[in-house]
A and B are shown apart, each in its own frame.
Chain A
């Protein structure tokens, strides 16, 4: 199994509070991603990173920010959590070898509930 961990695994918070989710990898992969999983939508990309301090927005980035200060860590922050951000969040990593973007490896997920 690829070495990807997410913390916390479960979190319940209140509307308006800031929340930070952490993704940690031991694979030294260049690319990291944050997705959210919602019924009827599958996996939707929030933000991604293509290197240390190199990040960009995905499909559903409003209300989220990210940071990547080290290769191994990718943080997702909800500045002021809303109930619509209740979801399961997955981190993923991938690498590019011989000009091919390889498959993504996913972390175990974080279940976030915003009351």
Chain B
């Protein structure tokens, strides 16, 4: 089993809707989690990090971590066309910040 799994999508939502992106992980990835956004033809950029169970909010973005169920999610409220990108979930194995990435999910926000 790959250590970090993402539904490959793509995911399409209308402008203004909530986009929900999900990620599951194996026991080897259990410390902290990160969401990277990658626009087409660009490099990934970090948008959210979460270490503790529960929710973490930053503007229109909310990261959720449930360690008992081994999933992490990213909610994007009031989705905008500019949110259209590939979102990569990554977990820190705890071994000095070596990240394991999921395959990514492509989000398309329809105007």
Determine if chain A interacts with chain B.
no
* Partner-B contacts on A (CB < 8 A): none
* Partner-A contacts on B (CB < 8 A): none
